[in-house]
Structure 1
């Protein structure tokens, strides 16, 4: 910010160097979890300057498009993120060789979005492209490869090939432990991924061990309101819920929700995930009214986010209908069934 102040006094108002500084400030906000600030107070200003002063295929524009896409990703605006990443890719393809590592970064970004949207075949294709480029352009233990291995692991996990996912996550961890500071947040992400694979395979004790490592790193490297904490808290909650400790699960789910409510927009899909987790814990604990309340909160977020035919939303409404049947609220049952019918 001091650099920006100096530049604004000594350079023309729309000088490209000022755009670079805005991008740097945006990255600082981004890494602190201040995503709206990164977008509204930095990246938008950088883009405005660049669009007025640079050619449409200038490399700096690709950087800004990628940065904006990453913020939209964190804010849960997945379609906007894909649009920005594709703009970045279009610029990069016009001036970079087909094996340039920056192309791999953008393919990873695009693949990750498709993964979150449930389109695993496209996401896997993008991750494989990224890996193919990196294997030709960076050393075999480059940290960027760890990111790609993590992404590929997610693809394997989403298709329930957990042993392959673990193999890939461990490749990521091996690289990070050699070339990344020991308390780097990226290592926490990898531990969370490994923990979730073990959880999915039914090994609760190892998954808890990995989640504890992730949490310890986050506590040493992130602000307490950083949204990455919510991922770890939710993971703890899933293990406790699976063990039948519903009060323990709710403790962690509510910590996740509290973090998300401070750091994410109210319509972010991650909030729907947490409400859904809370609802399931209440359901298993026999608290049907509380479960209905949380499922309804999840549904109201997803209704504005998912396509109206998305099966996940229909599943939630079916669950709500079943719960209302148990508490004899016929009107609410009919309302939920009607919503499910409209999605077909």
Structure 2
């Protein structure tokens, strides 16, 4: 209609094309969005000249599309052109310049180039404060963005006050029940989730969900996102019975709103599959992982970071099932794809190296696992800093490799470094601290240093009871570990009692056929057989 009234070459036609492109981008219909965004850009250049604010806006929009598609190498020059054009036309200190700085910083954040993102986010924040005053929604947005970067970098102590400031500012400016307030609650909850402060994260995720339902309706993409976030929290707490219905709801909302073939639907399929994988329900996980993988290939192309993620997830499933010959080529494909798409030095490359190394470790191919673990560790130190929780995870992984090889003297300092780093960055009471205590205790037990192992096992057990509840699967695993120690020491009645407690928890929470339950049952049966002879 716009073309009929105004002709094909009119600025309003370009605006309509641009708006339609934005709509298709939000719907995940990228193949339809791209030509419209290009047309809008070319029309504006032709009608308004190369140096016009609307041309800069079109460059930004096209860059956003490429960022959504994770075609970062195409997004970056467009964001940079838009930034330079806004600076040239509007001056260094204009709200559009701040927005452009923010956009470019967001791209670098997504690419793992945190050192380039930080100063841009800081500049955008300062410009907005200066031009708009300290109490403005755009200032709150900048605070959120900078906090999100620090959260990604594991600099949680810097992220928290910024998230809190943004939350208070949005509440004050927009009211208690505004969608931006829900987003701020969600961001702060995500920070607490990363820190293992689950009791603080849960009510915030729930509040965000309720606000979104009330303000946006029960069937809205942001409601599906909130359901997913709360489910992820419950999955980490192994409250699987609460996580599953939330993931199913999120999947159904996305199918209804976005259609059955949409990237967000693929993400929901992946999330549900990951839950089933963790629960040991492998037969339900596998077809969902396959569906997510095929959908991503179809919608995003064969070479896309989300396709690599799907390959990694399917490989993890096959590793869990002991189907190592199927897992290996998937891990290798994912690693090569991520290197090609994101560069050889990216946090996701370190994660892929770690996954492949873990497979080789489980297969006993230690000579292949070790250099990959070491590469992942060095990359994480370089990209994330020496004190990031992912660095602690790499220490743990390398220590486990050495433990499996009987290289106990090399494993011990790595386990100790991981434990100290987790305590320093995540607080002294965190599930990963409990895991590290368990790892170190298992090492000491294997070395016959039982007097050093016992207090660590007990600390881990008490911490898990306090953080996760007395009937949590991790508590069951810790009881099993302590029972093993007592068995080695000949304290058989104490061992039997703990094995039975562990088995009761694991059967109740994970089911009789879960691998952890089977291991515990076999341990108890083996002890009773020994005692009966």
TM-score, normalised with respect to structure 1: 0.77
Q: 1:271 maps to what in 2? A: 391
- Deviation of 1:122 after TM superposition, in Å, equals 1.7
1:144 to 216, 222, 233: 222
Cα contact 2:125–2:139 (8 A) shared by 1:
yes
1:37 aligned onto 2:156 = no
- Deviation of 1:131 after TM superposition, in Å, equals 0.6
Cα contact 2:347–2:380 (8 A) shared by 1:
yes
1:245 aligned onto 2:363 = yes
1:307 aligned onto 2:427 = yes
In structure 2, do the counterparts of structure 1 residues 216 and 127 end up closer, same or farther at CA, with 3 Å as the change threshold? same
1:164 to 214, 232, 242: 242
Q: Could you tell me how far apart the structure 1 residues matched to 2:261 and 2:146 are?
A: 28
Q: 2:20 maps to what in 1? A: none
- Deviation of 1:270 after TM superposition, in Å, equals 1.9
Q: Could you tell me how far apart the structure 2 residues matched to 1:289 and 1:209 are?
A: 43
Identify unmatched segments of 5+ residues in structure 2: 1-79, 294-305, 310-333, 464-533
- Deviation of 1:289 after TM superposition, in Å, equals 3.6
Cα contact 1:240–1:246 (8 A) shared by 2:
yes
1:21 aligned onto 2:21 = no
1:63 aligned onto 2:141 = yes
Q: Could you tell me how far apart the structure 2 residues matched to 1:251 and 1:167 are?
A: 40
Q: 1:120 maps to what in 2? A: 198
Q: Could you tell me how far apart the structure 2 residues matched to 1:188 and 1:36 are?
A: 31
Q: Could you tell me how far apart the structure 2 residues matched to 1:79 and 1:264 are?
A: 15
Cα contact 2:392–2:421 (8 A) shared by 1:
yes
In structure 2, do the counterparts of structure 1 residues 129 and 236 end up closer, same or farther at CA, with 3 Å as the change threshold? farther
TM-score, normalised with respect to structure 2: 0.53
**RMSD of aligned alpha carbons:** 4.0
Total equivalences in the alignment: 332
1:92 to 166, 170, 187: 170
Q: Could you tell me how far apart the structure 1 residues matched to 2:259 and 2:114 are?
A: 24
Between 310-319 and 96-105, the greater mean CA deviation after superposition = 310-319
Secondary structure, aligned partner of 2:342: coil
Q: Which has the larger radius of gyration?
A: 2
1:76 aligned onto 2:196 = no
Deviations along 1:98-131, whole A, 9 cap, x unmatched?
3321111111111111122222122110111111
Cα contact 2:86–2:97 (8 A) shared by 1:
yes
In structure 2, do the counterparts of structure 1 residues 56 and 160 end up closer, same or farther at CA, with 3 Å as the change threshold? same
- Deviation of 1:261 after TM superposition, in Å, equals 4.7
Deviations along 1:59-96, whole A, 9 cap, x unmatched?
11011011011101100012221211111111111221
Q: 1:223 maps to what in 2? A: 342
Q: 2:272 maps to what in 1? A: 194
Task: Give the number of the structure with larger relative contact order, counting CA–CA contacts within 8 Å between residues 6 or more apart.
Answer: 1
Cα contact 1:211–1:232 (8 A) shared by 2:
no
